[in-house]
Amino acid sequence: MQHIKYQISYSQRRRTVQLAIRNGEVYVRAPATICRHWLSAWLQQKELWVQQTLARITTPPILPWLQRDRILVSGQAVPFRWQLAAKSSVNVDANGLELRLSTKIAAERHEHYARKLIQQHFTEQALLELPVLANELAARLRQTLGPVVVGNWRSRWGHCKQNGELGFNWRLMQVPLWVRRYVVIHELAHLQHMNHSPAFWQLVQQHCPQYREAKAWLKQHQAELLN
């Protein structure tokens, strides 16, 4: 296990010990009169919990787009390459995803346009495929589907509105189809249950038995995708 570095502060007004983890840092607040040997022993008792919590919340740094050598496409990490060209474009084939940036784009804007073009590519794919998938699954759930929109959100995969509108994150085109289906079923289930009640999850499970695995996949990859 790695050595834990504690940020310890003492206060004359504090009467109890508080242990907190924020942004990968471990903070300890303690009374000024506390026995240092007791505090050391108490922290040793908490060491396993701290290690497990740090391991759970610590994620590797997200590389800028143009420093990556692979990119997720329908759940597969395919080769990613880019080059300068006369015209900007994105192409996905058996060899992976190739990004071409126009030579007219200033070097300091390459990263910005790389993100913009890749987002545009996946958004166009989502607008073609997600309404078809949503209509297919809506028929299975016997739900009346409203408009299907595609958006760019950093904290959610989709939404459901009272008028039947479903919204989906363009990044769903980067996840496996079975996970994508779960997100669509999740939002469709909200047309019947505008909450996360047991009845809601029962309906989700009825049409997506592996929904827990899908949720776990999204949680595992959310730092990589929702950036």
pLDDT digits (tens, 9 = 90+) for 38-85: 999 999 999 888 887 887 766 566 788 899 999 999 999 999 999 999
Contacts of 61 (CB under 8 A, 6+ apart): none
What is the reported pLDDT for 113?
Answer: 95
**Percent of the chain's residues with pLDDT above 90:** 77
Q: Does 184 have pLDDT greater than 60?
A: yes
Question: What's the Cα-to-Cα distance from 141 to each of 36, 128, 159, 203, rounded to whole Å?
Answer: 61, 21, 17, 9
What is the reported pLDDT for 123?
Answer: 97
For residue 72, what is the DSSP state?
E
What is the reported pLDDT for 1?
Answer: 42
Burial (CB < 10 A; 0-12, 13-18, 19+), residue 115, is middle
Q: Does 219 have pLDDT greater than 90?
A: no
pTM comes to 0.72
Q: Average per-residue pLDDT in the chain? A: 91
For residue 53, what is the DSSP state?
H
